[in-house]
Amino acid sequence: MGSRSDLFHTPPAPGCAESAVVGVDACSTGWVAVTLREGRFAGAGTAKGLTELLRRVPDAAVVAVDMPLGLPAAGSRRADKLAVEKLAPHRSRVFPVPPRQVWEQVDYAAANLCCRRLTGHGMSRQSWGLAAKLREANACRDGGDYRLHEVHPEVSFAAMNGDEPVAWSKKSWNGQAVRRRLLADHGIVLPVDLGPAGRVPPDDVLDAAAAAWSAHRIALQAARSLPDPPEPADTGLPAAIWY
């Protein structure tokens, strides 16, 4: 049995039969995840690859990941447009997801040209920086791991906050304090010592915890989606942001 902060060794408490749910966020070293049981913190951890992480949580009923799942063949996704509306005036917290062909390019220059050709707009380097992880996440779900659901932590935090987006940046002291309080108000109390996961930047941990909150709601069939119902992606699988 591992420590309380070990994502991959968190057996249910005595008398608790509920499966774990996991929230996942991309970080500089790979992925960081927060596990909940019965809506309460049960562990945190990191993994270099999402495939590795999923393999280590076989009992997880839902895995909510802060990464676009389901790419358009052309045009844009309704999920992103609706998220922008929900988070207004903080439009920059949502990045547009261009068609799959853009993500399949070999480098940023090619992706930027392809994006301009298909959408009329260029692609930011920040967005392209997510390409490898976006492809990995979509490969996992397209390959049959349907536990995966897309979330957007800022949409989740807004839902926790009475449908009002958090005013402060997630990288600011005030912003992190507000987000941590919102999580605690909803039963997710993050411990001071997260073990190895504590080396990850705080905003990534908070995003993973918000994703876990949404995962718990999905497991309870209490979650909502943008759009509702989800729209089909180019693979036929649903494309929606859950919260």
Instruction: Look at residue 13 and tell me whether its pLDDT is greater than 60.
Output: no
For 26-58, b/e burial (b = at least 16 CB within 10 A) is bbeebbbbbbbbebebbbbbbbeebbebbeebe
Report how far residue 191's alpha carbon sits from residue 69's, in angstroms, rounded to the nearest whole number. 30
Q: Write down the pLDDT at residue 221.
A: 97
Q: Is the pLDDT of residue 3 over 50?
A: no
In eight-state DSSP terms, residue 12 is: P
How far CA 85 is from CA of 79, 82, 213, 241, in Å, comes to 10, 5, 21, 13
Give the start-to-end residue ranges of the domains of the chain: 21-66+147-227, 78-140+228-242
* Strand intervals (E) in the chain: 21-27, 30-37, 40-47, 62-65, 148-150, 225-232, 238-242
pLDDT tens-digit readout, 160-218: 999 999 999 999 999 999 999 999 999 999 999 999 999 999 999 999 999 999 999 99
217 within 8 A of 187, measured Cβ to Cβ: no
pLDDT beyond 90 at 7: no
pTM above 0.85, yes or no: yes
Band of residue 18 on the pLDDT scale cut at 50, 70, 90: low
110's tokens? 């090619």
Q: Vertex 59, ends 204 and 10: CA angle to 5°? A: 65
